[in-house]
Amino acid sequence: MTREIKDYWDENSKYYQEDSKIKIGIHYGPGAPFEDKLRLLGKLKGKKILEIGCGGAQCGIAMAKKGAKVTGIDQSIEQLNFAKNLADKNKVNIKLIKGTFQDLKKIKSNCYDIAFSAFAFQYSPDLLKLFKQINRILKKKGLFVFSLDHPFFRIINPKTLKSQGSYFKTGRYTEKTDSIDFVGYNNTVSELFNPLVKAGFIVEEMIEPDSRKKYAGDPWYNLWGLYTPKLLKIVPPTIIFKARKK
């Protein structure tokens, strides 16, 4: 159920943005280099891009500054309000849609060159359904690049640095917080890879950035007692996929 995830983000958007102070740029997540190093997206000028789970749209705004026509979708109105203000401050025009990525019906088929998502698909209860919709909205040979929690990351307890469960225990998990419980979904690597193939993508690259290094500008480094240098030396927090519609 994505309602609780939406409520969590509406409640926590302000703190998330204040804590992380994410700069305008195309990032992939904690412990990972930015797009200027990874170069997964190619030239962006004139490209039609859908940023999925755009949050504050720091990525989408950076893409728009490079001449792309960007639409961002997110289900949290608070995240979208932040994105709108940030886009205005940066004097770029991006279209923002409030909606869940579990239902992209309103988006026309075969109309985007690139679908991009940074750190949002760990909130998807059904990746195959999601990937099929993304395949539908992309043009032929359209690019699909996304990052999310590395499946190994949550098997180590950030405080004790000991195993806290099985890699194979996938699906929905919850974490108690001071406000609304945090809900996410764990996947194994094959549970990320196989639905991509089933949905009609060719996977061109899978990237596991070496999080033993600190990457310049990483807004999450050592944040929330979660992305600690000690933990990042043991397990990677981020995995990235580059796939293409057939």
Ligand X SMILES: C[S@@+](CC[C@H](N)C(=O)[O-])C[C@H]1O[C@@H](n2cnc3c(N)ncnc32)[C@H](O)[C@@H]1O
Residue 79 in the binding site for ligand X (CB under 6 A): yes
Radius of gyration of the chain (CA): 17
Q: Which is nearer to ligand X, 122 or 135 (CB)?
A: 122
Minimal CA–CA distance to 228: which of 244, 246, 212, 204?
A: 212
DSSP-derived secondary structure letter, 156: B
* Beta carbon nearer to ligand X, 25 or 161: 25
The amino acid at residue 30 is P
* 119, 144, 185, 241: which one binds ligand X (CB under 6 A): 119
Are 184 and 122 in contact, with CB atoms under 8 Å apart? yes
74 binds ligand X (CB under 6 A): yes
**What is the rounded distance in angstroms from the CA atom of residue 66 to the CA atom of residue 92?**
10
CB of 197 to ligand X, least distance (A): 22
Q: Does residue number 186 form part of the binding site for ligand X (CB under 6 A)? A: no
Of 81, 90, 102, 194, the one binding ligand X (CB under 6 A) is 102
- State yes or no: residue 148 binds ligand X (CB under 6 A): no
- Is residue 182 classed exposed, middle or buried when 0-12, 13-18 and 19+ CB atoms within 10 A define those classes? middle
CB of 118 to ligand X, least distance (A): 4
Q: Which stretch binds ligand X (CB under 6 A): 54-62, 89-97, 178-186, 221-229?
A: 54-62
d(CA 53, CA 24): 16
Residue placing its CB nearer to ligand X in the complex, 200 or 219: 219
Q: Are 13 and 77 in contact (CB under 8 A)?
A: no
Binding site for ligand X (CB under 6 A): 2, 5, 9, 22, 53-56, 58, 74-76, 79, 100-102, 118-120, 123
